[in-house]
Structure 1
Amino acid sequence: MACALVAIEQGLSVQVVERDPVCTGASIRNFGFVTVTGQGSGATWNRARRSRDIWAHVAPQAGIAVEHAGLYVLAQRLEAEPVLRELLNTAQGLHLEWLDPEALHQRAPHLAHAHIRGALYSPHELRVEARYAVEKLRLWLQSRGVRFHMGQSVRQVESGSVRLGQQELQAERIVVCPGPDIRSLFPEAFAAYQTRLCQLQMLRVRPPAGYQLGAAVMSDLSLVRYRGYSELPGAQRLEDRLRLETPRELQHGIHLIVVQNADGSLVVGDSHQYGDSMPPFVPAEMEELILQEMQRLLCLGHCHVEERWTGIYPSGSQDAFIETVLPGVQLLSVISGTGMSTAFALAEECLMGERIAT
């Protein structure tokens, strides 16, 4: 749909083919969190910053509510604070703030617990409710002239044509965005990027009545998963301590993101399991560890889980790629957990040929 938006704004006639009758994949199973701070320096951070601006422009036109904005990365451990302070001194640190405990208490008293050493605040992030936003985006694009072929699978792609069973569509330009289906179309391109699948565990949690988060929240564990933090000099000391204190969390690829829905519920996650094919079984321990980390950070007291789900996305040797696989045919894939945050900018690169600086 990001490609459809860019194409329709160029005055092109656009058709989108989607294998499912409604969106059921990773696009609605995520946090709805447009993440800028913490993305890898260079192309991914620049794409996220550009995509954030496009989201802010498109959302009100498409009737998509921005549930909240901003991000607090809360430092629980002594070793986390220098990592966050180091980020302030990079090109990606512009407009970020370090909040000591007193400043955090003034800004967000519900997050200023006694064990929190301070927080990095970013104003860049936006949060939408993905399970509704994606369909609203589709309907808005449809109202602008994009034709959708829902519930139809692409059988074959050639230069100038796309075959759907007995029907064949003609096009001067074709962009293939297959999501986690890395074997049906152009599998050799995914193999070149050492792509496999990543499965994550997510939860919707009901906090105490009236609880207001106000912004997205992340924890120490995020600092060793997000490349924008893990590349910094101080990250290794933090990881060494986490390996001693949280070995099970690291084994399951758990870090913490918490965002809030309009109805007050929290979306909480997540874990990461990798493989060529993902089993449908998720150990209960993963959920327990995620909830324990949430309680350590937010001290919510009583709460209960209302929904559980998993998501699957492709994961490879870099964050995303654009490959010309046939004359007039491009393969575009995010092969990391950055799709919500970078897709709009990637579509501009793909269709307008404007490469984001690295």
Structure 2
Amino acid sequence: MKQRSYDLAIVGAGIIGLAHALAAVRRGKKVVVIDRDSQANGASIRNFGFVTVTGQQAGDCWQKASRSRQVWAEVAKTARIPLLHQGLTMTARLPESEAVIDAFLKTEMGAECRRLTPAEAALKVPCLRQEKITCALYSPLEVRVESKDALPRIANWLKEAHAVDFLWQTSVNSVEAPKLQTSRGTVHAETVIICPGDDGTTLFSDRIATYEVTRCKLQMLRVAPRNRINLGTAVMSDLGLARYLGYAELPQAEPLKARLDREMADHRENGIHLIVVQSQDGSLVVGDSHHYSATPDPFIDKTVNDLILGEMETILDLGPYDISETWIGTYASAPDRWRFTDAPDDSTRIVVVTAGCGASTAFAIGEETIADLYA
């Protein structure tokens, strides 16, 4: 490998790593991104591509999501990433859910949202079973991209428009800035950012262990309606009101969580909440579930998928459909935080999102880290 020196080396080419690369090049830094795979292959491409602001935990997470949504709009335009649809319709069928929606609308986070009647919600989501719901929360803020296409487009754009170098299929064995020992030789960089995703054992495992990081496994499906439908917006249901912390931490959510624990115990025990988004070919990405383990098994549980699909069918009338794909994803999870940034030394940072909101918050996290490193 030809020896080159950089201002910044980033280990990990998922959305967190790419977001840091963007923030750095905007400050005029020479950047290299190193990844052990030939392309992004982890949580960043196995998700919904659902850039979510509404429902993120109040405070830091919601603020980071709000800023990242702005950057996503800029990046999508310049990197030619299609925004497949916009907005979120959060449906409710229980009086306890209505109380959560009403409380949320009174918060700062609900300022751009509004409550819809079932008929109004059906105008946003034409395939909605409006007779099954009592109201909905609508947010105009969310956007949907196809993650498995968007990540390569961002990487190519960073390479072509901003001269970011990428070392694919390259493992990093040790980091001691300004040197990184890799499977392709030594890389020199004044500063280093490690974005390991859910890999807590390869680099700085002792430091990552202090945050009690484990893994969350989720199951997802691609649903192909046999008759073309227009979803309209992303769709969620009552289960999301009890799980997304921007809603679930409101005092008014306690009665909802208690009722769901009684009446939808299987869903709650499997960490299921409904998200449905649409792809350019008309198919729907549907999920998901949450199971926690240091080493999640790689198997898809049909019972869990059936619970997810049952919730989908309760609120959406898709007509006949087929399941074209099912898959699992994993991401890092911690018991008491949604992210952390660790500093082994003045020139090195470890950045991990320990919740399922990396795509929604990455760009703002990248700006924060780069501002700190180059203050």
Q: TM-score, normalised by structure 1?
A: 0.96
Q: Is the 8 A contact 1:254 1:290 kept in 2?
A: yes
Distance 2:246 2:284 in 1: 25
Q: CA deviation at 1:166?
A: 5.1
SS of 2:181 mapped into structure 1: strand
State how far apart, in whole Å, the 1-side matches of 2:37 and 2:235 are.
32
> What's the counterpart of residue 368 of structure 2?
349
SS of match in other structure, 1:52:
helix
Counterpart contact for 1:159–1:327, Cα < 8 Å: no
Aligned pair partner of 1:264 in 272, 282, 285: 282
Asked if residue 322 in structure 1 is aligned to residue 332 in structure 2, the reply is no
Match of 2:8 in 1: none
Does residue 142 in structure 1 map to residue 159 in structure 2? yes
Q: Deviations over 1:10-42 (max 9, x none)?
A: 101000001101221111100000000000000
Q: Distance in 1 between matches of 2:368 and 2:220?
A: 31
How far residue 323 of structure 1 moved from its aligned partner, in angstroms, is: 1.4
Distance in 1, matches of 2:287 and 2:169, equals 30
- The equivalent of 2:52 in structure 1 is 35
CA distance, structure 1, for counterparts of residue 233 and residue 123 of structure 2: 15
Contact 2:126 2:230 in 1 (8 A): no
Q: CA deviation at 1:106?
A: 4.5
Fraction of identical pairs, as percent: 43
Correspondence for 1:160:
178
Q: Using a 3 Å threshold, how does the CA distance of structure 1 residues 267 and 109 change in structure 2: closer, same or farther?
A: closer
- Alpha-carbon displacement from aligned partner over 1:247-294 (angstroms, at most 9, x marks no partner): 111111110000000000000000111011111123210111010010
Root-mean-square deviation (CA, aligned residues, Å) is 1.3
1:71 aligns with 2:88: yes
Q: Which residue of 2 aligns with 1:207?
A: 225
User: Map of 1:164-243 to 2, 5 A cutoff?
Assistant: 164-165=182-183, 167-243=185-261
> Could you say what secondary structure the match of 2:190 adopts?
coil
CA distance in structure 1 between the partners assigned to 2:124 and 2:311 by the alignment: 22
CA-to-aligned-CA distance 1:34-87 (integer Å, 9 cap, x gap):
000000000000000000000001111111000000000000112101101111
Which piece of structure 1 moves more, 17-26 or 187-196? 187-196
- Which residue of the other structure, out of 103, 110, 115, is the alignment partner of 2:127? 110
Deviations 1:231-261 (A, max 9, x none): 1111111111111211111111110000000
Contact 2:126 2:231 in 1 (8 A): no
- Secondary structure (helix, strand or coil) at the match of 1:70 reads strand
Contact 2:129–2:314 (CA under 8 A) maintained in structure 1: no
The aligned runs of 1:281-296 (5 Å cut-off) are 281-296=299-314
Asked whether 1:332 is paired with 2:351, we answer yes
Q: CA deviation at 1:228?
A: 0.4
2:284 aligned with 1:304: no
The separation in 1 between residues aligned to 2:362 and 2:204, in whole angstroms, is: 20
Measured after TM superposition, the shift of residue 108 of structure 1 is 4.0
Which among 126, 129, 136 is matched to residue 119 of structure 1?
A: 136
Indicate the SS of the match to 1:47. helix
User: 1:141 and 1:187 mapped to 2: Cα distance?
Assistant: 29
CA contact (8 A) 2:124 2:233 kept: no
**Do the aligned partners of 1:321 and 1:332 also contact (CA within 8 Å) in 2?**
yes
- Say how many residue pairs are matched: 354
Give me the whole-angstrom Cα distance separating, in 2, the residues matched to 1:278 and 1:104.
38
Q: Could you tell me whether the CA contact under 8 Å between 2:226 and 2:322 is conserved in 1?
A: no
Q: Secondary structure at the match of 2:44?
A: coil
The SS at the match of 1:278 is coil
Q: Distance in 2 between matches of 1:253 and 1:302?
A: 27
**2:363, 2:257 → 1: CA distance?**
32
Residue identity in the other structure for 2:347:
G
Change in Cα spacing, 1:271 to 1:106, as seen in structure 2 (3 Å) is closer
Q: Give the gaps of 5 or more residues in structure 2.
A: 1-17
Q: Determine the C-alpha separation between the residues in 2 that align with 1:17 and 1:159.
A: 15
Distance 1:301 1:166, change over 3 A: closer
Displacement after TM superposition at 1:107 (Å): 4.4
- Quote the offset at 1:301 in angstroms: 3.0
- Secondary structure of 2:94's aligned partner: coil
* Post-superposition offset of 1:190: 2.3
Which residue number corresponds to residue 46 of structure 1?
Answer: 63
2:291 to 270, 273, 285: 273
**TM-score normalised by L of structure 2:** 0.92
Q: Tell me the SS of whatever aligns to 1:217.
A: strand
Tell me if structure 2 keeps the 8 A contact 1:104–1:112: no
